[in-house]
Amino acid sequence: MLSIVRTLWDIFLHAFRKRVTIQYPEQKAYLSARYRGRIILSRDPEGGERCVACYLCAVACPVDCIALQATEDSPGRRYPEFFRINFSRCIFCGYCEEACPTYAIQLTPDIEMGEYSRQNMVYEKEHLLISGPGKYPDYNFWRVAGVKIGGKDKGQGEREAPPTDLRSLLP
């Protein structure tokens, strides 16, 4: 019986504590920087698209919500012709971000994506592409990759040695 009275007093004191409710939409919950929210496609620090249309994200996606098509501009830089994510399918797992070799596709802490029609939840490249580098500000894949694109020849990347000349006799 005494424990009942003690419980009553204890619960009564809860009236004088702060309430833990977050009054959305006037107040918003704190989402950390690595929160897996809305997906974006980022650009490198020089302003070009990071995505090289390697299809790794589409393969890694457990629900197959990414669709893209690779194409190349002159001279040799790959980019996606279209890049489509169906957000009504997306489970925001982050596997695509982990699979991406160029830090192009990223998940941001933005969760306000409600729509009335399912068609409006299919985001195209122009909806996904942002103008900045996102979470990884200094990385440019093309500087470290060994391919020849406009402005950089083979052997001119960072930490890259020039290709060996097979026909000369020198070591």
Partner 1 sequence: MISPYPAVTLIAVLFGALTIAGGLVWAERRLLALWQDRYGPNRVGPFGLMQTLADMIKLFFKEDWVPPFADKWVFIMAPAIVMFTVLMSFVVVPFAPGIIISDLNIAVLFFLGMSSLGVYSIVLAGWASDNKYALLGGMRAAAQMLSYEVFMGLSVMGTVLLAGSFDLVDIVNAQRHMWFVVPQFLGFVLFMIAGIAETRRLPFDLPESESELVAGFHSEYSGMKFGMFFVGEYIGILLVSSMITVLFFGGWRGPVLPPIVWYFMKTCFFLVFFILLRAALPRPRFDQLMAWGWKLMLPLALANLLVTGAVKLAFFH
Q: Where are the alpha helices (DSSP H) in the chain?
A: 2-13, 56-60, 95-99, 125-128, 141-144
Query: How far is Cα 134 from Cα 73, in angstroms, rounded to an integer?
Result: 24
State which of residues 2, 20, 161, 169 lies at the interface with partner 1 (CB under 8 A).
20
Residue 115 Cβ, how far from partner 1 at the closest point, in Å? 23
Q: Is 2 in the site for partner 1 (CB under 8 A)?
A: no
Question: Which CB atom, from 14 or from 167, has the smaller least distance to partner 1?
Answer: 14
Q: Is 26 in the site for partner 1 (CB under 8 A)?
A: no
| Residue 21: both structure tokens together | 């409710």
Q: Is 11 in the site for partner 1 (CB under 8 A)?
A: yes
CA dihedral 80, 100, 88, 129 (to 10 degrees): -50
Contacts with partner 1 by CB under 8 A lie at: 4, 7-8, 10-12, 14-15, 17-21, 23
